[in-house]
Amino acid sequence: MKRMLLKSLVAFAAVATLGAAQAQTRTIKFANQNAKGHPIVQGMEKFAELVEAKSGGKLKVNVFPGGALGSDQANLSALQGGTLEMASMNSGIFASIVKDFAVYDFPFLFSNPKEVAAVVDGPVGTQLHAKLEEKGLIGLTYYELGFRQLTNSKRPITKVEDIAGLKLRVIPNPINIDWVNALGANPTPLPFPELYAALEQKAVDGQENPVATIQGAKLNEVQKYMTLTNHQYNPQSVVVSKKFWDSLSAADRKILQDAAVESAKFQREQSRNAAAGILDALKKAGMQVNELPPAEMAKLRDKIKPVIAKHTASVGEATVKAVLADIEAARK
């Protein structure tokens, strides 16, 4: 009788333990605007694999690419409200809640990935992410969207003056609106999920994005001309809703942090390895691709300098100086 009672108690304890483990299982929604197959989404999928492995299946990440959960602005609100657990988005978007992030949108800030790493993986990148906490977000790491190129459906751009008059879709923020205005073009802020239709319907003439995004969203179907300008580099912040973060144990937080950093290394490699092949594929698909001569690139930089000066004041000189110091150190 005692043995039977003991067995029953052991069985009950085992069921209770199993039930507790199941109760702690969490499902994490991870959102992004890029299409499946894009290097950003590959990084997210890698993150999902790592989290599941590191947590023994206790934490499960569902990836939602292609704007499936709405625009970046909608995702940002959902993260702050706690209805979305995670997202990866252009770091510059956070300038709407922490002004310092606008530094990431400065045109011609970075020349190569080494300079980028010196900033985003260094004290500045960490400090900027830390400023998000009081806004309801936790920054884990930075993915890479890459260097942005200019495309349009009207004409090849062989000199800076060719940009004038074009109606260009931009990420909705003041710096992008200002630099497009400085070139004599007409900036049209639009959420990314609306871009293809706007180009197809000729509501806008062109846009600017890295080649992987152009291919992933099939923008080459509605854009004939590409000019390689490398005018901006976009770090992508991987962020977690603070409301969700606060509900996690210290062990689970470490799993997410470690998986994010590990997936970022993988993601950046994917992004850089894919770029040259994607450009060739876009050319084969019919896009006309050209580069501006050095004299025209110098003219382009000169036209944009007043925009950088204006926004240095609004971003904060201390932040801009810190970023430039890290870039200078990387160049040496």
Predicted model pTM: 0.86
Which residue in 260, 232, 271, 255 sits closest to 139, CA to CA? 260
Cα separation values, 99 from 135, 143, 170, 266, Å: 12, 20, 18, 29
Residue 7's pLDDT is 53
Residue 331's pLDDT is 93
**Structural domain of 36:** 2-331
Cα separation values, 165 from 168, 180, 182, 261, 295, Å: 9, 10, 11, 42, 21
Contact by Cβ (8 Å): 27, 35? no
**Segments of the chain assigned E as strands:** 26-31, 59-64, 86-90, 137-147, 149-152, 167-170, 186-189, 206-209, 225-228, 233-241, 288-291
Residue 34's pLDDT is 93
> How many CB atoms are located within 10 Å of the residue 47 CB?
29
The tally of domains found in the chain comes to: 1
CATH number, domain of 148, equals: 3.40.190.170
Distance from C-alpha of 183 to C-alpha of 39, rounded to nearest angstrom: 30
* Tokens describing residue 235: 């770090």
Identity of residue 173:
N
Distance from C-alpha of 300 to C-alpha of 294, rounded to nearest angstrom: 10
Contact by Cβ (8 Å): 308, 107? yes
Distance from C-alpha of 76 to C-alpha of 38, rounded to nearest angstrom: 21
Those residues whose C-beta lies under 8 Å from the C-beta of residue 84, and which sit 6 or more positions away, are: 29, 31, 69, 75, 78, 241
Residue 19's pLDDT is 40
b (16+ CB within 10 A) / e for 56-65:
eebbebebbb
**Segments of 156-224 assigned E as strands:** 167-170, 186-189, 206-209
Identity of residue 256:
L
pLDDT tens, per residue, the chain with 332 residues: 545 545 554 444 444 444 434 446 899 999 999 999 999 999 999 999 999 999 999 999 999 999 999 999 999 999 999 999 999 999 999 999 999 999 999 999 999 999 999 999 999 999 999 999 999 999 999 999 999 999 999 999 999 999 999 999 998 889 999 999 999 999 999 999 999 999 999 999 999 999 999 999 999 999 999 999 999 998 999 999 999 999 999 999 999 999 999 999 999 999 999 888 999 999 999 999 999 999 999 999 999 999 999 999 989 999 999 999 999 999 98
